[in-house]
Homo-oligomer: A and B are copies of this chain.
C-alpha cells in the first residue's frame, strides 16, 4: 500500500503539498498538481482513512444499530439509510442489538472507538446514559425520545386507524395482538387500537406476544384461535404476526375476509404477495431510513434545522384481508 510519502517522493515534493493537492486546501502550482496526479496514478495511491480519522478525530463512518435485520421491516430502513449515506460518502458500521441493552451499549462503544461521526439507532432505551454521554449526533429511528432528533411514525394513530377501519368493515369480536412489552411502537399501536375500540363501545380480546420472530408468530396465531375461536377481526402488531394469523385462519378453514378480517402493521414487501393480500397500516420504511440519514448528516454538518423530531405519515393500505367498508 502506497503512502503519501511515497507519492511525495515520486512527485518530488513534500507530503504537505500532496496533502494540500488532494484536499484542495491551499495553493498548489499547476505543474506540481500534474506531477502529483501522475504519481498518484502510478502508485495507485488512496489515502488511508484511518490516519486521517486519527488526526481529525472524525471518520467518514456512521453507526447503524437495528434490533434485528432478519425482521423484514428493518432491511427497508437500513437500505434507506445506506443509500442516503452512500450518496454523501459516508459508510456504515452495522450491528443488531436484539433489543438487548448490553449488546446495544457494546456496539455504541465500538462505534465511538472507531471515531464514527454519528449514530442512527433503533432503540428502546433512548434516554439511557449511553446516548446522553455521546458527544456525537444521534438520530433515533422508528423510536422517539423527547427533544432528541428522531424519525418515527405515529404508531398510536396507526392503531386507531386499524381499529376504526376494522369496525367500519363490520368486525365486532376483535382480537388485538399486543406485541412485545418493551417495544414502544408496538405498545403505542396496541394502545391506539384499544382506545378506538373502546370509543366505539367494542370490547376486545388481547393476545400478548413477546417477539416478532417468524417462528414464534405461528404460536401466537394458534393460541389466538384456540382461546378466541369466534374472533371475527384481528389487529396484529406487525405484518409478520398478521401473516401468521392469516395462515392459521386459512388452515382452520376460516374464510378471510368473510369470516375473519386481518389488519397488519408496517407494510413490508411480502404483504402484497400474500394470499389474500394483506390489508395493513403502512409505514414508509425506506423513506424513514433516508430521512433519518439526511437528518443525521445535517446534524453532523451543523446545519440549522427547523425540526429534529420528524413524524412520518402512517397510511391505511387496503388490500384483501378486509371487506369493503359499508357506507
A173 within 8 A of B: no
A310 to chain B, nearest CB (A): 22
Is the beta-carbon distance between B82 and A95 smaller than 8 angstroms? yes
Q: How far is A250 from B273 in the complex, measured between Cα atoms in Å?
A: 11
> Given A47-B113, A114-B50, A114-B91, A72–B72 Cβ distance below 8 Å?
yes
Q: Which of A58-86 contact B (CB under 8 A)?
A: 59-61, 64, 68-70, 72, 74-76, 78-79, 82-83, 86
- Select one of B64, B69, B275 contacting A275, CB under 8 A: B275
> Given A92-B95, A214-B270, A70–B59 Cβ distance below 8 Å?
no
A246 within 8 A of B: yes
Q: How far is A64 from B60 in the complex, measured between Cα atoms in Å?
A: 17
A325 within 8 A of B: no
- Select one of B54, B82, B110, B275 contacting A54, CB under 8 A: B54
Is the beta-carbon distance between B114 and A96 smaller than 8 angstroms? no
Is the beta-carbon distance between B46 and A113 smaller than 8 angstroms? yes
A269 to chain B, nearest CB (A): 4
Q: How far is A290 from B305 in the complex, measured between Cα atoms in Å?
A: 42
Is the beta-carbon distance between A114 and B49 smaller than 8 angstroms? yes
Is the beta-carbon distance between B75 and A79 smaller than 8 angstroms? no
Contact with B along A240-255 (1 / 0, CB 8 A): 1001101100100000
Please, which residues of chain B bring their CB within 8 A of the CB of A274? 247, 273-275
Chain B residue nearest in CB terms to A272: B214
By DSSP majority rule, is chain A's interface helix, strand, loop, or mixed?
Answer: helix
A115 within 8 A of B: yes
Please, which residues of chain B bring their CB within 8 A of the CB of A273? 214, 217-218, 240, 243-244, 246-247, 274
A277 within 8 A of B: yes
> Given A59-B50, A214-B269, A273-B247, A94–B92 Cβ distance below 8 Å?
yes
A260 to chain B, nearest CB (A): 13
Please, which residues of chain B bring their CB within 8 A of the CB of A1? 112, 135
Q: How far is A70 from B114 in the complex, measured between Cα atoms in Å?
A: 27
Q: How far is A64 from B95 in the complex, measured between Cα atoms in Å?
A: 12
A32 within 8 A of B: no
A109 within 8 A of B: yes
A13 within 8 A of B: no
Q: How far is A272 from B216 in the complex, measured between Cα atoms in Å?
A: 12
Chain B residue nearest in CB terms to A44: B133
Is the beta-carbon distance between A69 and B78 smaller than 8 angstroms? yes
Q: How far is A96 from B79 in the complex, measured between Cα atoms in Å?
A: 8
Q: A72-B72, A72-B75 are in contact. List 17 more A-B contacts (CB 8 A).
A: A1-B112, A46-B109, A47-B113, A48-B115, A49-B110, A50-B50, A50-B113, A51-B54, A61-B93, A61-B114, A69-B75, A69-B79, A86-B103, A214-B272, A247-B273, A270-B270, A275-B275
3 pairs of A and B residues whose beta carbons are closest in the complex: A214-B269, A49-B113, A94-B94
- 8 cross-chain CB contacts under 8 A: A48-B115, A54-B54, A69-B79, A70-B76, A72-B72, A92-B94, A246-B273, A273-B274
